[in-house]
Amino acid sequence: MRWINKTLALFAILTVSAVAAWAQAKECTEEFKTATYSKWYDNRIEHQDVAFQAAEEYLAVCPQDDSPYATAIKKFHAAYKAATSSIQNKNNLEDANNKKNYPEVVRLGKQVLASEPDYIRAHILIAVAGYSANGSGNSSLMGDAAESAKKVIAMVEAGKPYAPYTSKEQALGSMNYIIGKSILKSAPADAIPYILKGARLNDVLRKDPLLYLDLATAYEEGPRAKLSEQYKAKLGPNNTETPESKLVLENLNKVIDNQMDAWARAAAATTNAVDKKSIMDNLAELYKYRNKTTDGLDQLVAGIQAKPIPDVPTPITQLPTPPAPTATPTPTPGASSPGGSNTGSAMPASSSKTNGATTTTKTGPATTSPTPAAGAKPSSTPKPKPRRSNHRIH
């Protein structure tokens, strides 16, 4: 070991001595500057490694030179070093991505972007790495992922390449979903439009049950939770319905229907039997609340993928107007009867016999009650939120 240490120390001394001797051996003469500049100039395009060596030599021998020759060489030298460093960083970035080292992907991606802000590949890898790390339990990278996803959307829409995605729509769908995922906990209502775009644009995500579970969660923890609180606040004494509570309930039920749609899509897309049962249990609970029965639930799931994904419900500001009561018209004198005979006088009432019994039919307004407001439910309080599935979809 001592022998090795002595050898390394001797090698270091000899190296320093050689560099010093080399620098001392050459002087910054006009002849040296002309020859070295010519070597750099002749190779600066097709043999840049040789040109870089010439630039290194020039700057080492003539560090104080501020001539036009030196200015051109310094500019090339700095650019070449930056490009070489960027290439190395890009190679390191790809290596970290292949190894699924997500924190390193984000770190190296930022390093590449510091010198090349429009390098879309780095933004895509950062976005996907943050999303993937979140799936593994590390949510700390989602902020970086969302910021890069926004940059990718802007770049792709401006015509930048979108590899490794196979289409512009796939790239935009994935980036929108990543943004939605990043704000799912902090702003679930705001996450819904992003998740919907992800499903509608990306044909692969459209078949992913996890996306629909996220969508169901966004509806549950966003607009449903808000409307549920409003509904309770609008109830009258002893939890009696009021016009205001009925209006909130109309909007609440629309949101629950969309949440139920998301659960049904998750169930239809899930192939794992255990996960599917868990999802169906949650869906059945919600479906029974809305329909008072589970009849039709299996048909809903079986046909859900053929239906378009519903938009976020548009809030209504007033209850539907019930239909006006119908009235039986009073015949006028001389009017023809339906059978074509002319009665010659008004008929305020008519009598008929059925099995010997006499019944009297009066003319005038109908006495049937108006149709109840559409969507109103007998229960005074919405059912509690369904339990989330404890199983991770594989």
Terminal alpha carbon distance of the chain: 53
Tell me the CA distances in angstroms from 134 to 96, 102, 321, one per residue in order. 17, 10, 48
Instruction: Give pLDDT, residue 26.
Output: 81
Give dist(CA 105, CA 93) in Å, integer. Answer: 6
Tokens standing for residue 99:
């190894």
Which of 310, 17, 276 lies closest to 192 in space, CA to CA?
310
Give dist(CA 109, CA 375) in Å, integer. Answer: 52
- Count of beta carbons in the 10 Å neighbourhood of residue 281: 13
Instruction: Give pLDDT, residue 368.
Output: 28
Please state the three-class secondary structure of 7-25 as a single string.
HHHHHHHHHHHHHHHHHHH
Instruction: Give pLDDT, residue 320.
Output: 81
SS3 category, 164: coil
Find the radius of gyration of the CA atoms of the chain. 38
Give dist(CA 332, CA 324) in Å, integer. Answer: 23
Fold of 100-187: 1.25.40
pTM: 0.68
| DSSP result, 79-121 | HHHHHHHHHHHHHHHHHHHHTT-HHHHHHHHHHHHHH-TT-HH
The ranges assigned to domains in the chain are 29-96, 100-187, 208-306
Instruction: Give pLDDT, residue 321.
Output: 80
Phi, psi for residue 256 in degrees, rounded to 5: -65, -35
Instruction: Give pLDDT, residue 264.
Output: 98
Instruction: Give pLDDT, residue 374.
Output: 32
Q: Mean pLDDT per segment of 10 residues, for the chain of length 394 residues?
A: 39 39 67 91 90 90 91 90 84 96 97 93 98 95 98 97 95 98 98 98 96 98 97 95 96 97 98 96 95 96 97 93 66 42 31 34 29 31 37 30
Instruction: Give pLDDT, residue 49.
Output: 87
Instruction: Give pLDDT, residue 354.
Output: 33
Contacts 24+ apart (CB under 8 A), 281-290: 281/387, 282/386, 282/387, 282/388, 282/389, 283/386, 285/383, 285/386, 285/387, 286/256, 286/259, 286/260, 286/383, 286/386, 287/260, 289/256, 289/379, 289/382, 289/383, 290/253, 290/256, 290/257, 290/260
